[in-house]
Structure 1
Amino acid sequence: MNEQLSDFAKERGVEYFLISYTDLFGAQRAKLVPAAAIDDIQEGGAGFAGFASWLDMTPADPDLLAMPDSASAIQLPWKPEVAWVAADCTMNERLVEQAPRNVLKALVARAGERGMRVKTGVEPEFFLLSADGSEISDSHDTAEKPCYDQQALMRRYDVIAQICTYMQDLGWKPYQNDHEDANGQFEMNWEFDDALATADKHSFFKFMVKSVAEMHGLRATFMPKPIAGLTGSGCHAHISVWDGAGEVNRFASREDELGLSEEGRHFLGGIVRHATAYTAITNPTVNSYKRINAPRTASGATWAPNSVTWSGNNRTHMVRVPGPGRIELRLADGAANPYLLQAVIIAAGLDGIDTRADPGKRQDINMYTEGHLVEDAPRLPLNLLDALRELDRNGALKAALGEEFCEAYLKLKKDEWNAFVSHFSRWEKENAIDI
């Protein structure tokens, strides 16, 4: 039974609750509710106009009611009188099936019916920019190979350490932070958890990083490719499947060379089989395709895939098996919706188990220098429209994610693509003005 949020408020001195839901484009929408009114909101939901966010609704639709999930409540470490609570969207007393958190919860339940608990960890990367977002915030961060740069990391110590301390206070068990492969880019890691808990934490993490950056007069962005020529921001996901009690790793095997069970290989097979379709969700923006189809970056490598291949502990592939009992999907980027990222992983993996999918040949080459030798590997979509078409053609994945969600997502994302292609860029004028 859910805890009463009014009790949470009394115990912790919370004066306000941010009742938050995440829309199809990954934007977080919230209402600030005083603690004195939270009992009514917990019972009846916070009212929103769904059309006013990125959901496929109209101004004539009735109220969208965001029902707070008290299990997700997080007291803001930097503003402890406020607590953030993830909410599930309802309308006319039924779940809104296109709402991302509802999509994920349905898939978590489907895995649970099979006695499976999907556990995941994410590795979100982000840039710290100037307040107006026009340039890297650290003018001294200019190294050709800036990854793990000690000096650059410590020049942003105040920001990174503040966020990490907050994660420790929240019990997330963060374990490392680093300067990443692009100038101005960072990554922070915390312990893996059940897929829904990871998605809630991932959503809150993005809110927290942006908030702390603003306190320091900076701007944080998870945009996949904010700066031409530099490595883009990924969001690698580590995946394992456990028994219902969460005690036995069903992906682990002592007999397999990579430590991956037969069930784990079939799950991997689903991840491989459906990759070109779920790219529309793991890489959901026009800008995403400037990361996964990028030319060589200033550091010497993009650290992003452009083909559907898998390997052992080899970071140049879309999927790697870095250790026994888990796989890492390296495709997703910083724009990925935290809930939909987890949802497509589960959807693709369960289909792989159901169909006993074969992941295909393991590749151990350096894909950045020898990728042209792998002739039969599917190429990832070259742009958002190609990705959306792949998703629309994939009946199994659409069925797993739900008809209402897929119809809404494809409609709004195609509208976004049409808005992009109707824009006249400076490049077009500079290169065609004399025709």
Structure 2
Amino acid sequence: MTSGNLTTAEQAVLDEIEEKDVDFLRLQFTDILGTVKNVSVPARQAEKAFTEGIYFDGSSIEGFVRIQESDMRLKPDPETFAVLPWRTNDESAAARMICDVIDTSTGEPFEGDPRYVLKRALDRAKEMGYTVNAAPEPEFFLFEEDEEGRATTTTNDAGGYFDLAPKDLASDVRRDIIYGLEDMGFEVEASHHEVAEGQHEINFTYDDALSTADNVATFRTVVRAIAAEHGLHATFMPKPIARINGSGMHTHVSLFTEDGENAFHDGDDEFDLSEEAHAFLAGVLEHAPAITAVANPTVNSYKRLVPGYEAPVYVAWSDRNRSALIRKPAARVPAASRIELRSPDPSCNPYLALAAIIQAGLDGIERGLDAPDPVRENIYEFDEAKREEYGIDTLPANLGDAVDALDEDELVQQALGEHVYEKFVQAKRHEFSEYIVEVSEWELDRYLETF
């Protein structure tokens, strides 16, 4: 396969398709809510996908466009080509490429494409002289399926934090997931059993923020597919089981200068953080309530964000403990200086969450904000009076409060863009309004026979 109209990267994809006998391509993108979508085409359409794009009906995608303006075009990013490990057999293979969404009426990037929202944030960082690196720590649960293949909340092990087999019965599943991720180009840093039974974490190494968001979307797909091969259901629901720890996605962020230096590092600072790092951190703290709507976007997210289950609910930072919203992890080398935002959960749209975090931090740098002093005590043990003494606010208590905070934060609204902001808020207000009129089993058990 050759064409004079292709870039070197695009031609390399065509060559790999032929070499690896790829039959089908999944052209992947996400909707505003972060659900991975794909248009599957025969691999012979790859060159056309690069030169002309692949058209689809945008009106069928959550939050994209109205029926009268439905034509959208997918523009594949050749740098994201990867063969799908669970679809490979002796004869053929399937592969995926992540796409940018193009508005066919203008020929410009579609403003409702979450990947474009993140690209805008990275463009702003570039204008300020920075590139952005990020590294997530996504957690998930593995549950058994019932006789009909539906998900249950029965875990297949009794392991705890860092446990080994035989308690950690899912170690083989994690191994296969890691092999699959590595086959797709991931650099896996570590994996382990998490605190709760059936809960796991796989960390991949830091990368530029766009690649990281792409990786999170791919990660969720790979984990689910390989878990299903083992007869298990993988879920990234933040709190699938009451009264135990939920699943988070702690997110590490750092800025680098154009000459490759870590802009967050200053060896003369008490915390090894530069002025830019302190200002970035202050920006994230200031906009934390609005960021929460994006980084914790489901009703269920707020069942995780409660005191007592290792989830951060207090708007503060620390260099020593994990009870604060932002932690400054220890760094062995200057290049590793970073901040860790501990509130996001794996149900979020990674493109929108990273865009909101980055834009908030850059706002802190542009305005020269001063970070408050770190809190080195365990905030979980503070009473309300002591939190007030320290000036520590709490994150929104539920999705409705978080969306209200987003409605009051112009910076995060601008980070999302008018289209995404309006569609996101519309969807989330509808979700919350549906939730508050439901009657739970807990309420029935508590009140039905009492009153």
Same fold (TM over 0.5): yes
- Alpha carbons 1:250, 1:264 under 8 Å: kept: yes
CA distance in structure 2 between the partners assigned to 1:170 and 1:56 by the alignment: 29
Quick check: 1:17 aligned with 2:25? Answer: yes
Whether the 8 Å CA contact 2:314–2:323 is kept in 1: the answer is no
* Correspondence for 2:37: 29
Q: CA deviation at 1:85?
A: 1.0
Question: In structure 1, what residue type is equivalent to 2:303?
Answer: K
Q: Which residue of 2 aligns with 1:299?
A: none
Query: Which of 259, 284, 290 lines up with 1:271 in the alignment?
Result: 284
Q: How many residues align?
A: 424
Q: Any stretches of 5+ residues in structure 1 without a counterpart? A: 297-301
Residue among 368, 371, 378 paired with 2:393: 378
Tell me the distance in 1 between the aligned counterparts of 2:117 and 2:258: 20
Distance 2:15 2:129 in 1: 33
Quote the offset at 1:429 in angstroms.
Answer: 4.2
Contact 2:190/2:202 (8 A) holds in 1: yes
Aligned pairs for 1:71-150 (under 5 A) are 71-80=79-88, 81-91=93-103, 92=105, 93-131=107-145, 132-138=150-156, 140-141=157-158, 146-150=160-164
Q: What's the CA shift string for 1:175-207, capped at 9, x where partnerless?
A: 211100111000011110000011111111110
What is aligned with 2:76? 68
Q: Which amino acid aligns with 2:368?
A: R
Of stretches 394-403 and 31-40 in structure 1, the one that deviates more from structure 2 is 394-403
| Matched residue SS, 1:286 | coil
Deviations 1:8-56 (A, max 9, x none): 3124332211101111111111111111112222233333322322214
Give the one of 348, 361, 366 matched to 1:349.
Answer: 361
* Aligned pair partner of 1:314 in 300, 321, 335: 321
Question: Over residues 253-290 of structure 1, what are the superposed CA-to-partner deviations in whole Å (9 max), with x where a residue is unaligned?
Answer: 11011110001110111111100111000000000000
For 2:201 and 2:345, locate their aligned partners in 1 and report how far apart those are by CA, in whole Å. Answer: 12
Are the aligned partners of 2:387 and 2:393 in contact in 1 as well (CA < 8 Å)? no
Paired position in structure 2 for 1:387: 402
2: CA distance between counterparts of 1:425 and 1:53? 30
CA contact (8 A) 1:48 1:66 kept: yes
**Residue 66 of structure 2 aligns with which residue?**
58
What does 1:27-426 align with in structure 2 at a 5 Å threshold?
A: 27-80=35-88, 81-91=93-103, 92=105, 93-131=107-145, 132-138=150-156, 140-141=157-158, 146-151=160-165, 154-245=168-259, 247-293=260-306, 296=308, 302-324=309-331, 325-370=337-382, 372=384, 373-375=386-388, 376-426=391-441
* Equivalent pair of 1:314/1:322 in contact (CA under 8 Å): no
- With over 3 angstroms needed to count, the CA separation of the structure-2 counterparts of 1:152 and 1:236, relative to structure 1, is farther
Aligned mates of 1:88, 1:250 — CA distance in 2 = 29
Task: Return closer, same or farther for 1:47/1:201 CA change in 2, 3 Å cut-off.
Answer: same
AA aligned to 2:197 is N
C-alpha contact 2:168 2:193 (8 A) present in aligned 1 = no
- Of the structure 1 ranges 163-172 and 332-341, higher mean CA displacement relative to structure 2 is found in 163-172
Q: Secondary structure of 1:202's match?
A: helix
TM-score in terms of structure 1 length: 0.93
- Alpha-carbon distance between aligned partners in 1 of 2:25 and 2:320, rounded to the nearest angstrom: 43
CA distance in 1, matches of 2:349, 2:166: 29
**Whole-Å Cα distance in 2 between the matches of residues 147 and 426 of structure 1?**
30
User: Unaligned stretches of 5+ in structure 2?
Assistant: 1-6, 332-336
Q: Amino acid of the residue matched to residue 54 of structure 2?
A: A
> Does the aligned pair in 2 maintain the 1:283–1:332 contact within 8 Å?
yes
Q: Judging changes above 3 Å, is the alpha-carbon distance between structure 1 residues 39 and 105 closer, same or farther for their aligned structure 2 residues? A: same
- Tell me the percent identity: 37
- Aligned CA RMSD, in angstroms, stands at 1.8
Name the CA distance, whole Å, in 1 between partners of 2:304 and 2:294: 15
Q: Deviations over 1:326-371 (max 9, x none)?
A: 1100000121112112111211111010111122121001122236
Q: Deviations over 1:312-333 (max 9, x none)?
A: 0311111010124211000001
